[in-house]
Structures are given as C-alpha cells and as structure tokens.
Amino acid sequence: MPIEILGKHPFARDAQGSLISRIGTLFLHRPALVTLPGIHATQRLEYAAHLNRIRQSTGLPPLTPGEEMAEWEDSVDLIMEQDRILIRPDPGNMRRAFDADEILQGLVSKRQIKFLYAMNEKVRQAVRQRGECWRISPLPRSQEEMKAMIREARIAIGCGAIYFYNMMTGTRYLTCSEFARLGALGTEELALQLQEIRDFSGRRNRRHYSEVDFFATKLKFGHADFAADDYLLLALEPAQLKARYAELLRRFVAAVPPALLEDDLEDAEWRRRLVSALVSQREETVSDDVLHGLSTEFYLRIEWLPGGRIEDGELIFDSIFEEAERHPEDSELRALCDERAKGFIFNFIREFGDVEYVNIGRVVGSLSAARPMASSRRRVYIAEIMYRGAGKPAVRIVRLQKWGVSEHLDEGKDLLRSILEAEEYTEYILDRRLGCRQLGMNLAVRTSMRKLAEKYQGRRREFLGQIIWSAYFERDYIHGVATDKIPSSRYESPEYALRLGLLLGRAAAPNIIVGRANVDGTHALFDDGDEVVAEDPRGMPADIIVADHTGTFSDYLSPLQTFAADYARPVTSRASLLPDPTAFAKVYLDAFLTRYLHIQLEYRKRRRGFDTLFKHRQRDVHGSFAFRWEKVLERLDSTDGNALVAAIAEQIRLQTDGKVSVATDTRT
C-alpha cells in the first residue's frame, strides 16, 4: 500500500538546500507520514484532524477519543538527517519499529533507514537478532563526527532554528549562547521566540521528556523562570519585553559554568558536553569511551554490514543485496553489500547448524597506530555468532590472507601457479604461527583457516568473474585493551604500572627473538596495537596476549641489538605517565632478561626438537620458512642476553636524556 504524505517528502529541501522538515511521524494503520512543521505532538493532532476531515466528507462521525488514541499509539517518531531517516523505536515494542521500517522501504532505499537508541540493550538485541547491526545509527567516533552531529542537530519549532535536537529523547536543548543572540531580534520576533520557549519548556512528549530544555544549567534555570509570565509576552511594551528578556538572560548566565557560556565547536569541553546531552537519555556526561565506541564492540571502529537472518531454521539474506543487484552502477551500495559477508555467513551456517543469528562487520582503519590501513584484500572482519542455547554471542576475528590467488593473478601468473603459490603462503603463515608458539609467544588459543569463494575482480580481463577460493584466518576475539591504547589514568596506580612493565618485558623477549619487524626491516613491531592486556577482576594487568603475529620472522639475519632502540620505547613512551619510570624500566628489563634466558635455555636443552621441527619443509636461502627458522635459532643461541638487555637499557637512558637510567644485572 502506498504511503500517504501530509507535508513534503522526507528529503525535500528548501532553496538553500536544507531539509524542509527534520521530524516526521509515521502512522502504521493506513499508512501515512506527516512531515508538517512543528513537533511530533502537533503532527499527531494534525493527522487526527486529517482523518476527521476524511470521515466528514464520507458522512462518518469524528473519531472518538479512544480511536484517536489508538491511531496515535500505533505510530512511530522519525527524524530526518540529510539522506537518512532515523526511526526512534519504543524499546518495549520493537514490532512497531520494524513495521515502520518495512513501510518506509516503499519510499526510500533500505540503506537510508536506521534505528536510533544505539545504547539501549533491548533495541540492540532486537536488531542484532535480525542480523542487522548495520541498521543501528552509530554514535560519533571522532572529533569531526561530533562537530557534524552538532551542526546537523540544529532545529526549529515554529520560529528560529535555535535548538539542538536530541534524537533519542526528542528534547530540544537551548544553549545560553543561542539565548543571548535573541537580543538582536526585533520586538515582535523576540516576543514570539520567548513565548515559544516558555510554552514548550513546560511540555513533555509522549515519552515524558521535556520538549525544550536548557543546556548545562543543572536545573538551576528552566521553565519555572518563565512561568511567572502568566500573560502573553506579545502584550508587553517593547521596553518591558527587553527588560524581561535581560532578566531571563542574567539568570541563564548565572546557572551555566563559565566554560560553557559560549558555543564553540573547537572547544573540546563544550563539544563533549553538548554531544553527551544529544546522545544520552538525560543530560549527563557520557564518557569519551562511549562516544568513541570503545566500551562496546558495536562501535570499536566497526562498520557493520548487511548479512542475513535465520527464521525457523532458514537463512534469509538481507533484501538490500537484491537492491544492489538492481543498481550495479551504485558504487556506494556495492561497497555496503560486501559479498564476503555472505560467504562468511555461509561457512558459519554450514559448519554449525544451531546458529540463531550472525552479524558481520569490517574494521575501518588500521588496528595498529603504527601501521597504515591494509588494502581491501587484507581486510579484517568481525563476526558475532549466537549459537542456540548459548548465554551470549561468540565473537570471532576474521582476517583475509594477504597473498592469495587474486594477487598472484595480478602479478601475471597463470591460474594453476597462482593457486599453488597461494596454498604455499597459507602453509607459511601456519608454520610461522607454530614457530612463534615454539619460541614462547603468547598467541590466541585457537585459529582456524577457512576458504571463501569469490569472483576475481583484478587487473586480468581474461579472468574477470572467475570463481577463486581465498583463504582467511579466524580466531576468538580477545577481550582486553591494546597496550598502546591504555588510558593514561591507569598509570596513576603504581601497582598497575609495575604489573604492566613486568608483562611487557615478558612479551618483548619472544617478540625480538622471532624478528617481528615491518616489511622493510627498518623497525621492530611491538607494543603497537597487537598486544592485548587482559585484566583481572580488580582491573589489574593479568596477561598479555598477541592478537596477530604479523611481521614475525621478517628479520632473521640482523643482530638482535639492532632493535634495541625499538624495545626501549615501551618504557620511554610511557615515562611521562608513570609514577616511577625507573622502577618501571627495571621491572621491564628484568622480566625481559628472565624470559629471554629461559627461552634460550629451553632451546639448548631440546636443540634437536627445535632444529628438526621444519626439516620436512623446503629449505631455500632466499627466504623459505625452514631457512628463516634455522637462522632465528642460530641467532638465539649466539646472542648474549645480558649484552642485549644492556643495549636496551642504554637506549632508555639516551631517549630520556639520562632521566631514566637502570643498572642491569648479569645472569647466566
């Protein structure tokens, strides 16, 4: 059934290119969409009046109060943003939100319809059970996104666009700075605007939130200050009106902290506080962790993708894939409908028959601050899988193999040679993982290798569309925080700092032994995003797990002292944050030496077992893994641990201009 629209199309714009309406109300019964100016309450009233006009024209009596209420209750609030319609669901009745979604898809593309309430667990759970995490409108994750949110939050009721709209609650926030600008209005305009503020600050919407509230006043200024005006402000003489406005402004200013009096997008504190007010269900400070998505897997640099849902045991892929097939010219839609997501879901369903739902996302940006984002062929994905009867979803990290059939075809090799070399590289990665474990690196417990069927889309025209099988590696998500992203406040605890230093030292020893370095060998890779700290119930560091062993065995010939400066940085990069940098450095170096000597002793005790581990592999002096393994063991055996630690200690002293100097022990 087509949607009846009272007002303009949701994306209609004025002569300046701005949206004509920022809010809408969708009535599900007919269905009908109201986008007329005002607030959601006035839109509901207008819709009831519209229905009564229709009934009158057909000789029917007006709606009874009960019938009006039924129409109003069977409706959903909408907010329009540039090219998106945001559904504000009732967490207690998600059916209405999903019905509204189906209706709106007859008006705009499904990708342009999102669900609000990102922080509400009921909403998240209902959406994730449909395999549609990509439909939840994300919170801002960067300074630029916060600025954009504030700019787009401006909204009017009937007069000027002086409010900032909280899409979660429907409250419009008025800042002191915006209120101060009203002094430049003419007498009639000022009276109308003040009357509007007075009226709507005293009203509550159907979710019992204020229609208009005052930013950063902590209830020290509000509707009560206007309530004394029990007369129409329009009736005041100009001098009286100006005096009344000046008194209200004085009270508003007195209620707001000085740092928040001026609206300034570049001011970090003002920006943070306003965004907090715009994304929370009450005006309160939302931590930066929540705003940036660091406290929940939904927003940890993850772009959720369309996938599928499982109904009565049947897998149903998202209908947006069909939309993408109908519009092959739409590059943005093609990018959203990642065919790999379908392949991953296929594998999960085929392997485990008791899956309730799967959500697939891809990681945007590099997981390591020190390394650039990998190419699309090296993409990292995350999968949230709910198995029937499980208490919570399993979270898996999926990483595509860097060198596969597609890359070798692009190099000009024939199909057979490309397949063989891709298989050889898979074996190299798995052997490298085994080598890391053998030499004491604390890796994620389980990693699986799987294949994904996809169409070749590379440079070779003769192979375009050819089905190829790409390898990928899947592991459990490691709960914790990367060592290079630990909040600075944690270092204020001497116990936390020393425990972390101990764990970093233990982790650094096997890392340097296996020659973990960047591609060109100019620096070691350590403490840059792949080492994850697991904490105990008290919040203290308990273990460091290496999430990804990228770069291991890259350098297998250089003396280990070559990288002494890189292994000094875990100390020097934190020196300004530590209560006692020297104590931290000593714990780090002692743990490094203890672990290094232990691994060296284990090798010497079981030399034959280590030396023959990869004897069955082809040995090639140009860099086969068997040859790299041989050279890494030779280097381990010949490097004096005490001399290595002394070199790192000297680099710590140099990098801190002598402020951190540690005398190292000599051990055998």
The answer to whether 134 and 176 are in contact (CB under 8 A) is no
Confirm or reject CATH 1.10.1070 for domain 481-655, answering yes or no: yes
pLDDT of residue 368: 53
pTM for this prediction:
0.75
| 654, pLDDT greater than 90 | yes
Q: 184: Cβ–Cβ under 8 A, 6 or more apart, which residues?
A: none
More confident residue, 637 or 138: 637
The answer to whether 629 and 432 are in contact (CB under 8 A) is no
pLDDT of residue 439: 97
Handedness of CA 223, 228, 234, 236 (dihedral sign): negative
| 365, pLDDT greater than 90 | no
| 643, pLDDT greater than 60 | yes
Q: 131: Cβ–Cβ under 8 A, 6 or more apart, which residues?
A: 307, 308, 309, 310, 318, 345, 357, 358, 359
Strands (E), 122-272: 154-155, 163-165, 172-174, 212-214
pLDDT of residue 301: 65
pLDDT, tens only, 434-477: 999 999 999 988 889 999 999 999 999 999 999 999 999 999 88
- How far is residue 104's CA from residue 661's CA, in Å, rounded to a whole number? 66
**What is the pLDDT averaged over residues 412-441?**
95
Query: Could you tell me the strand order of the sheet in which 467-476 lies?
Result: 314-317, 302-311, 355-363, 380-387, 394-400, 467-476, 447-455
- Say what percent of the chain tops pLDDT 70: 93
Model confidence at 287, pLDDT cuts 50, 70, 90, reads: very low
Domain ranges of the chain: 1-118, 401-476, 481-655
Mean pLDDT check: name the lowest of 299-313, 368-382, 523-537: 368-382
Model confidence at 377, pLDDT cuts 50, 70, 90, reads: low
Model confidence at 302, pLDDT cuts 50, 70, 90, reads: confident
Taken as a whole, the chain contains a residue count of: 668
**What is the pLDDT averaged over residues 518-544?**
91
State the burial class of residue 526 (Cβ atoms within 10 Å of its Cβ: 0-12, 13-18, 19+).
Answer: buried
| 296, pLDDT greater than 50 | no
Cβ–Cβ contacts within 10 Å for residue 256, how many?
21
pLDDT of residue 231: 56
More confident residue, 372 or 257: 257
| 370, pLDDT greater than 70 | no
pLDDT of residue 366: 54
Q: How far apart are the first and last CA of the chain?
A: 83
Verify cis geometry, omega within 30 degrees of 0, for the bond prior to 306: no
The β-bridge partners of 76 are 26
Model confidence at 286, pLDDT cuts 50, 70, 90, reads: very low
pLDDT of residue 469: 94
**Token pair for residue 9?**
């199309």
| 376, pLDDT greater than 80 | no
| 269, pLDDT greater than 60 | yes
- Say what percent of the chain tops pLDDT 90: 65
pLDDT of residue 391: 84
Model confidence at 81, pLDDT cuts 50, 70, 90, reads: confident
**What is the pLDDT averaged over residues 323-348?**
91
**What is the pLDDT averaged over residues 25-33?**
94
- How far is residue 166's CA from residue 160's CA, in Å, rounded to a whole number? 17
pLDDT, tens only, 569-590: 999 999 999 999 999 999 999 9
pLDDT of residue 249: 96
- How far is residue 581's CA from residue 577's CA, in Å, rounded to a whole number? 8
pLDDT of residue 663: 83
pLDDT of residue 602: 97
- How far is residue 620's CA from residue 52's CA, in Å, rounded to a whole number? 86
pLDDT of residue 1: 67
Q: How far is CA 557 from the centre of its chain?
A: 40
The answer to whether 148 and 142 are in contact (CB under 8 A) is no
**What is the pLDDT averaged over residues 323-327?**
91
Model confidence at 394, pLDDT cuts 50, 70, 90, reads: confident
pLDDT of residue 303: 83
Model confidence at 627, pLDDT cuts 50, 70, 90, reads: very high
pLDDT of residue 485: 85
